[in-house]
Amino acid sequence: MGRPWTEEEDQLLRNFVAKHGEGNWKHIPSKTGLNRCRKSCRLRWLNYLRPNIKRGGFAVDEDDLIIRLHKLLGNRQDLSLSL
């Protein structure tokens, strides 16, 4: 694992995505001055910085859906992963 991201790096990444959109990962290191590879930038955005990331526990209706699906499918991961 590499070094931790700083708030300044996070802000540079947020600004780049706001201006250029997602999917332009190839150009991030050269256009932002970040000393990170494009894969690291992409993963940081997808897993930590995206504004629509849901954090925290499941809502009651989500819990109910999981329980109903488990009753229907059991532990068949091959089926549940395709949902």
pLDDT in tens, 3-25: 999 999 999 999 999 999 998 89
Domains in the chain, CATH or no CATH each: 7-49 (1.10.10), 56-83 (no CATH)
Give tens-digit pLDDT for 28-37. Answer: 988 999 999 9
Give tens-digit pLDDT for 59-74. Answer: 999 989 989 988 888 8
Secondary structure letter of residue 74 according to DSSP: T
Burial call 56-76: b when 16+ CB within 10 Å, e when fewer: eeeeeeeeeeeeeeeeeeeee
Residue 83 pLDDT > 60: no
pTM to 2 decimals?
A: 0.67
